[in-house]
Amino acid sequence: MIPIRDTIPARHYPLVTYALIGVNVLVFLVQLGHGPGEAREFILIYGLVPARYTVGEVAAHFTLGQQIFALLSFMFLHGGFFHLIFNMWSLYIFGDNVEDHLGSAYFLLFYIAAGLVSGLFHLFLNPTSTTPVIGASGAIAGVMGAYFILYPHSRILTLIPIFFIPFFVHIPAFFFLGLWFFLQLLNAAGAQAQQTGIAWWAHIGGFVFGVVALKMFGFFPSDRTEQGYHRGGIRRKTSDRLQLIRPSAGRNSLDLYETLQVTPYEAAAGARKLVNIPQGVRNRMYRVVIPPGTHDGSVLRLKGMGKQDRQGKKGDLYLKVLIEQPW
């Protein structure tokens, strides 16, 4: 299952989320700048190696500063391009909403704490391991745990490839994240945990921290608003580029009808949207152009995008523009 997007729009630009993605990419480029031998030494120094904290002979090879810094730096290293892409994509999907609720300052502290707890969780359960643990997975698992508490009824547009055929389905967030957590437990408890080199317990520790920490944030009422802890953030002018709509059919007609929500800024300046339309077990994706100066109630016609009869005749899709600030 590959998450594509969620259905909860963020009210503010997720500045910290974007910054964390940028830092992770930058550090990965630094990693690539090292040769094979240097890269291994780089990971041993800045990755989290449990044995360097519990075995004296191993600890002797590192300075106190390196020992402390590795507890932070390991969560910005990655083992490969796909490892980086998957982690950053997950952070992009779930991070903006959690940051939107907590505010940028709290979110940054939360993210670092989740990563630290995930690393310590792995360390305590594998105290003599000499395998370096690297990656943002533990910190992002904390973000996913927070999302699980904040937005359980959100829906995750998910890509499920079956025999190379892409199927898009909407899965409730509590089910998607609950299944993800169950799979981490299953892998951690099984023989795979010792064979793959993946720090399953770090994922579990991060997720549990995210769930517990969100309950604890209720103890900070001085900064809290009714929407969350956000203060001083930059309000978004645009809605999500990918929109899910469920058009209805006219009576005895092949045409389909639905509304498309845009912000006042998008209506004035123009915008491009991707419209996702569920059709049975499959979804259809269309590009929609909202021209500048669009008025509330304007109708966009997508020729040939309606239903199709047995003779191959196609109807049209009519989208009525609704100008509204969704937050």
Range of the domain at 292: 242-323
Q: State whether 175 and 308 are in the same domain.
A: no
Residue 279 lies in a domain: yes
Instruction: Answer with the one of 223, 251, 272 that is the final residue of a domain.
Output: 223
CATH code (residue 300): 2.60.260.20
Q: State whether 271 and 309 are in the same domain.
A: yes
Three-state SS string over 55-89 comes to CHHHHCCCCHHHHHHHHHHHHHCCCCHHHHHHHHH
Chain-centroid distance, C-alpha 222: 28
Residue 236 lies in a domain: no
Pairing of strands 2-6, 242-244: unpaired
pLDDT in tens, 59-71: 898 899 999 999 9
Instruction: Answer with the one of 190, 223, 256 that is the final residue of a domain.
Output: 223
pLDDT in tens, 9-32: 888 889 999 999 999 999 999 998
Q: State whether 299 and 160 are in the same domain.
A: no
Length of the chain in residues, anyone?
327
pLDDT of residue 1: 78
Rounded to 5°, the CA angle 246-251-254 comes to 65
Q: Nearest CA to 261 among 301, 302, 320?
A: 320
Q: State whether 249 and 188 are in the same domain.
A: no
pLDDT of residue 287: 87
Q: State whether 306 and 183 are in the same domain.
A: no
pLDDT of residue 279: 63
Q: What is the rounded distance in angstroms from the CA atom of residue 237 to the CA atom of residue 21?
A: 22
Determine contact, residues 118/147, Cβ cutoff 8 Å: no
Tokens 């500063």 sit on residue = 65
Q: Beta partners for 287?
A: 274
User: What is the DSSP code string of 146-190?
Assistant: HHHHH-TT-EEEEEEEETTEEEEEEEEHHHHHHHHHHHHHHHHHS
CATH code (residue 113): 1.20.1540.10
DSSP reduced 3-state for 305? coil
Q: State whether 12 and 113 are in the same domain.
A: yes
Q: State whether 206 and 273 are in the same domain.
A: no
Among 34-38, 175-179, 318-322, whose mean pLDDT is lowest?
Answer: 34-38
- Residue 193 has which token pair? 């945990």
Residue 229 lies in a domain: no
Residue 154 lies in a domain: yes
pLDDT of residue 229: 57
Cα atoms found within 13 Å of the Cα of residue 269, Cβ hemisphere only: 8
Q: What is the rounded distance in angstroms from the CA atom of residue 70 to the CA atom of residue 77?
A: 10
pLDDT of residue 221: 45
Residue 234 lies in a domain: no
Structural domains of the chain, count: 2
- Residue 92 has which token pair? 């992009």
Q: State whether 167 and 26 are in the same domain.
A: yes
CA dihedral 168, 169, 175, 178 (to 10 degrees): -10
pLDDT in tens, 226-280: 555 555 567 888 887 877 778 888 777 888 888 988 899 999 999 998 887 766 5
Instruction: Answer with the one of 156, 191, 223 that is the final residue of a domain.
Output: 223
Residue 230 lies in a domain: no
pLDDT of residue 176: 94
DSSP reduced 3-state for 240? coil
Q: State whether 202 and 257 are in the same domain.
A: no
Between 79 and 112, the more confident residue is 112
By CB atoms closer than 10 A (0-12, 13-18, 19+), residue 226 is: exposed
CA dihedral 179, 242, 320, 264 (to 10 degrees): 120
Q: What proportion of the chain, given as a percentage, has pLDDT over 90? A: 45
Tokens 């090879």 sit on residue = 61
pLDDT of residue 219: 47
Q: What is the rounded distance in angstroms from the CA atom of residue 62 to the CA atom of residue 45?
A: 8
Among 37-41, 90-94, 143-147, whose mean pLDDT is lowest?
Answer: 37-41
Phi, psi of 12 (to 5 degrees): -125, 155
Q: State whether 256 and 116 are in the same domain.
A: no
Q: State whether 185 and 303 are in the same domain.
A: no
H or E element in which residue 101 lies: helix 81-102
pLDDT in tens, 173-228: 999 999 999 999 988 887 444 555 678 889 999 999 999 998 876 544 445 555 55
Residue 274 lies in a domain: yes
Q: State whether 259 and 183 are in the same domain.
A: no
Residue 155 lies in a domain: yes
Q: What is the rounded distance in angstroms from the CA atom of residue 202 to the CA atom of residue 120?
A: 8
Q: Beta partners for 171?
A: 156
CA dihedral 78, 81, 84, 87 (to 10 degrees): -130
- Residue 218 has which token pair? 């209720």
Distances (CA, A) of 122 to 48, 80, 148, 195, 202: 9, 21, 22, 15, 5
